[in-house]
Structure 1
Amino acid sequence: MESILTPLSGGLIIGLAVATYLLLTGKVVGISGILAQTLFSKARFLPMLFIVGLLIGGSAYGVLTTQTVPFPEARHPLLLIASGLLVGYGTRLGSGCTSGHGVCGISRLSPRSIVATLTFMAAGIITVAIVY
């Protein structure tokens, strides 16, 4: 039963956070957009609070539970930098990140977000099929 409750509670918390942020700011949650607001906007308090909440929430989960998540094998730092730059480029090219399209866009029935999320999922499935 615990295996069902953990993702269910996580999804409910994410939904509550997204709805609360939308009600308070009038903006949808997407991590890339929130990060951009934190760096480039004058109204930084709520975006910064959201990012701090993500860090505290993830850390608290790690401290308070006995579940462990295996860390992937070490990767070369240049590969990590290149990967991050490609993700950032894709985020701008796709007008948002996976969390923004998948959580917020689909819940608003945005056709662009539905297509983007299906594309993310298909690319992930194809990549796993090729690599493994």
Structure 2
Amino acid sequence: MDQFTPVSALGGGLLIGFSAALLLLANGRVAGISGILDGALRPEGPEARWRLAFLVGLLTAAPLMALAGYALPTVSMPATLPLVIFGGFLVGFGTRLGSGCTSGHGVCGIARGSGRSILATAVFMASAALTVFTVRHVLGG
């Protein structure tokens, strides 16, 4: 995280919050990625179009920024591909089990004052802290 600055973090957070608020105000929908993906995979009527547009925007934003001349951060993944795929399945299972993902609960649910989202986000954060502590201090990673 050599490129982290509080200004860029604040700017990114403001853009995410503005986008989530705009989607809620314009379409009455929550910007939870798991729900958007689920709806795009089971298209029904006009809902599928905005969901697909949202997902295309997520996937094309970084390549478009690179084409515009912005330097993208280098990504390194020390895990093997099977481990990454297994982790993806675990995330998907947890998303279904928790009735939403971190973006839906953490960004949109808390902003709406949803008790379920506040609790879910607290569990996400506690789990992340416990995982980092375990990997760094117990397993010595």
TM-score (norm 1): 0.88
Instruction: State which of 115, 118, 121 in structure 2 corresponds to 1:111.
Output: 115
Give the total of aligned pairs.
130
Specify the alignment match of 2:76 in structure 1: 71
**C-alpha distance in 2, partners of 1:104/1:26?**
12
Unaligned runs of 5+ in 2: 137-141
Quick check: 1:88 aligned with 2:92?
A: yes
Partner of 1:17: 19
- How far is 1:32 from its partner? 0.4
Deviation at 1:65, TM superposition (A): 3.1
CA contact (8 A) 2:34 2:100 kept: yes
Q: Structure 2 CA distance, aligned partners of 1:58 and 1:99?
A: 19
TM superposition score normalised by structure 2: 0.83
The RMSD of aligned alpha carbons is: 1.8
State the alpha-carbon separation in 2 of the partners of residues 104 and 65 from structure 1: 29
Mapped partners of 1:106, 1:123: distance in 2: 18
Q: How far, CA to CA, are the matches of 1:89 and 1:62 in structure 2?
A: 33
| Stretch deviating more after TM superposition (115-124 or 55-64) | 55-64
- Greater share of residues in helix: 1
Q: Which residue identity does 1:82 align to in structure 2?
A: F
